[in-house]
Amino acid sequence: MSSIEIALTPEQVRAAGGRLAVEAARFTGYGWMRGTSGNISEVVSREPLRLAVTASGLDKGELLATDVAVVGPRGEAVAVAGVEPLRPSAEAGLHARVAALTGADAIVHVHALNAVVAGRRWPGGVLLRDVETLKGIGRLAHDDEVVIPVIRNSQDMEELGDRFEAAHDPRTPAVIVADHGLYAWGTDLKHARHVTECVEWLLAYALATA
């Protein structure tokens, strides 16, 4: 763990933790965070890059504002004075990579069943076009070929990050990790929530009409 940072205050971290807890409870209610799966993050500093991310191994439906870890660009835990250091998920490394690469300030990772089923059905990417809900992820409702990339799963976050970087389309705020789950992001937590909801709807629709 790096030396203690003084740029972030405990209040900032707890405030982010509270926001993450609310979003996590919502997605848990949707059945997208079964067990202790999934994690949600928010960028709390750009220079240096720091994310507040839900702590690992906890039930995502009953997080407290203090159930939050702070990580750096490789997902490594970063100590913040006045904040009890909690273990971040290994996946925090991919969150940081998404934040760095896309400029997103909030990232959602959920084990939504439809996303994993769609990734299995279309390992080369999920093609979507001509549906109004595409506007909810910043694309067009007509004549816009949208592909949700599908990347192979890995336990090595650097490898997974490289695959993400290779597959990522700057116009599409979501990626499916095959045999695993969905990553989606936005300009803030509420936007990321809306993108996640729309992507899941679109994947359910793709499966229902395949």
- Residues belonging to the binding site for Zn(2+) are 109, 111
CA 177 to chain centre: 11
CB of 194 to its own copies, least distance (A): 4
Residue 29: how many other CB atoms lie within 10 Å: 11
Give 15 or 117: the residue with its C-beta nearer to its own copies: 117
Nearer Cβ to its own copies, position 8 or 116?
116
The footprint of its own copies on residues 167-196 (CB under 8 A) is 177, 179-181, 190, 193-195
Q: How far is CA 1 from the centre of its chain?
A: 23
Q: Given the rule CB under 8 A, which of 40-48, 72-80, 94-102, 129-137 is the region that contacts its own copies?
A: 129-137
Return all residues near 100 (Cβ < 8 A) that are at least 6 apart.
Answer: 49, 73
H or E stretch including 117? Answer: helix 113-121
Contact criterion met (CB below 8 Å) for 13 and 68: yes
In whole angstroms, how close is the CB of 93 to its own copies at the nearest point? 15
Site string for its own copies, 45-84 (x = CB under 8 A): --------------x-------------------------
Instruction: Report whether 149 contacts 176 (CB < 8 A).
Output: yes
- Restricting to residues 133-152, name those near its own copies by CB under 8 A: 133, 136, 141-142
Tell me the number of residues near its own copies by CB under 8 A.
36
Query: What letter represents residue 26's amino acid?
Result: R
Closest-CA residue to 70 (of 102, 95, 100, 33): 95
Task: Tell me which of 15, 65, 117, 147 binds its own copies, using CB under 8 A.
Answer: 117
